[in-house]
Amino acid sequence: MIEKKAKKVCQDSSLTVMILIDILDKMGGAERNIYILAKGLTEHGHKIIVCPLKGGLVSQRMQREGFYIRELNVTRIYDLKGLKTLIKLLALIKKESVSALLTYHESSDFLGLLVAFLSGIPVVSSRRDTGFKLKSRHIKVYQSINRFFDHILANSSAVKESIIKVQKSKPGHVSVIPNGVDLPSEIPGAKVAFNGIEFEPECLSICCLANIRPVKGHKTLIEAASFVIKRFPQARFFLVGANDSDKDYYDALNRQITELGVSGAVKFTGEVSFTQAPALLSSMDICVLPSLSEGMSNTLLESMSAGKPVVATAVGGNTELVEHGKTGFLVPPEDPQVMADALVKLLLSPGLRRKMGLQARYKAEKEFSTEKMVERYEALLRKVHMDRQSGYKIQGPILKRL
């Protein structure tokens, strides 16, 4: 159960925050952020209500752990069911005296803005990527509505820059709060087997922790692996993540592995749980992320906190996490040869792996703690609530800005 420690905050200054997200099923970046944030804000004495438009594994897990979850069971917000959902949310906001609304993803942003306008509570939109999934019609909508949010949060400077340049938001209306990561109290010395992963004697292990989707760049990594294995036959690649969201892509990757003749060295392992990830990463020698686009990667943060050197593509927020030549290597996206060269450099030098891993852990500890992330969210949510309470924008964000 969630324990309310109520540290640093007295009861009469606590907030009731509603979190609205499109789907809360698989544990991806946004889901992880919500889990950590809801837990941290609850421990600070605030009441958190999590409302996924569509629930799933993560919402069920959070409910079991004592979080206040209200699944809305709606897939389209533009029909009669969407109208009923709007009415439900307004009633819940009134019943629970909600102080502020925090939204994730397009449907929740659009619905949340309307909810906030009708209820008079402030709304903050949390953006997690550089908009690679957005269609042109979504971008045009955001260009029109971004100014009506009380504030917009980005999880990296790259995401903020995209919101400003592509969606035409004013710089002062967007802030950056990086993701946070829990540091393991100690890094295990022994390697631990997961999901059938066996660590062969004398072999070095390379892990890519990312759900199997085209944007994560597994195709480039598999080709890079074929180059690495020619120069370093002891290398073993473990592709860790859910593979059920794009079956055609997963099948194509399996064909690529067979055609390149690397099936003995490249393995799909399936998904590991949120709680298993730190021990899994600690068991690896190198972590790699070949993404084509990123906001701020939790995988990189978790790898750094586990004391591992990383090889990552120089896209999005990756460049804000990885210090090239110090905590790992940054490589161009879709360039398997350069990626292979960086991996071989680390494979050939235990001393370099150890040095970069220690520097990576220090950076994660110094700059990206979960407590720091929670405190910054708390400060912003308190500010927009107090602004509204004090009469600033008393007419509501839309009427004030028309």
The CATH code of the domain that includes 299 is 3.40.50.2000
Do 358 and 258 share a structural domain?
A: yes
pLDDT band for 398, please (50, 70, 90 cuts).
very low
Question: Is 287 inside a domain boundary?
Answer: yes
Which tokens is 258 given? Answer: 């067979």
Residue pair 209/240 in contact by the 8 Å Cβ criterion: yes
Per-residue pLDDT, 391: 65
Residue pair 103/124 in contact by the 8 Å Cβ criterion: yes
Do 345 and 217 share a structural domain?
A: yes
Per-residue pLDDT, 397: 45
Per-residue pLDDT, 187: 59
Q: Model confidence over 254-305: pLDDT tens digits?
A: 999 999 999 999 999 888 877 788 888 988 999 999 999 999 999 999 999 9
Do 355 and 391 share a structural domain?
A: no
Q: Model confidence over 310-334: pLDDT tens digits?
A: 999 999 999 999 999 999 999 999 9
Per-residue pLDDT, 157: 95
| Residue 75 vs residue 105, higher pLDDT | 105
Which tokens is 52 given? Answer: 């996924």
Per-residue pLDDT, 402: 41
Q: How many CA atoms lie within 13 A of 219 on its CB side?
A: 12
pLDDT band for 7, please (50, 70, 90 cuts).
very low
> Rounded distance, CA 233 to CA 228, Å?
8
Do 48 and 163 share a structural domain?
A: yes
Question: Is 195 inside a domain boundary?
Answer: no
The arithmetic mean of pLDDT across residues 343-353, rounded, is 97
- Looking at every residue in the chain, the average pLDDT score rounds to 90
Do 391 and 360 share a structural domain?
A: no
| Residue 54 vs residue 13, higher pLDDT | 54
One-letter amino acid identity for 324?
H
Do 277 and 252 share a structural domain?
A: yes
Question: Is 329 inside a domain boundary?
Answer: yes
> Rounded distance, CA 368 to CA 366, Å?
6
Residue 270 lies in domain: 204-367
Do 393 and 322 share a structural domain?
A: no
pLDDT at 189 > cutoff 60: no
Question: Is 154 inside a domain boundary?
Answer: yes
Do 222 and 90 share a structural domain?
A: no
| Residue 233 vs residue 397, higher pLDDT | 233
Q: Model confidence over 108-149: pLDDT tens digits?
A: 999 999 999 999 999 999 999 988 888 999 999 999 999 999
Per-residue pLDDT, 185: 63
pLDDT at 177 > cutoff 60: yes
pLDDT band for 106, please (50, 70, 90 cuts).
very high
Do 358 and 380 share a structural domain?
A: no
The 8-class DSSP code of residue 243 comes to -
Torsion of CA 370, 371, 376, 381, to 10 degrees: 100
> Rounded distance, CA 185 to CA 360, Å?
15
Residue pair 249/280 in contact by the 8 Å Cβ criterion: no
% residues pLDDT > 90 (the chain): 75
Do 283 and 140 share a structural domain?
A: no
Question: Is 191 inside a domain boundary?
Answer: no
Q: How far is CA 228 from CA 28, 263, 331, in A?
A: 29, 14, 15
Per-residue pLDDT, 345: 97
Q: Model confidence over 21-50: pLDDT tens digits?
A: 999 998 888 999 999 999 999 999 999 999
pLDDT at 351 > cutoff 90: yes
Do 392 and 328 share a structural domain?
A: no
Polymer length in residues for the chain? 402
Per-residue pLDDT, 236: 95
Question: Is 198 inside a domain boundary?
Answer: no
pLDDT band for 77, please (50, 70, 90 cuts).
confident
Question: Is 185 inside a domain boundary?
Answer: no
Q: Model confidence over 44-68: pLDDT tens digits?
A: 999 999 999 999 999 999 999 999 9
Question: Is 188 inside a domain boundary?
Answer: no
Per-residue pLDDT, 388: 85
Number of domains making up the chain: 2
Do 245 and 131 share a structural domain?
A: no
The arithmetic mean of pLDDT across residues 243-260, rounded, is 93
The 8-class DSSP code of residue 234 comes to T
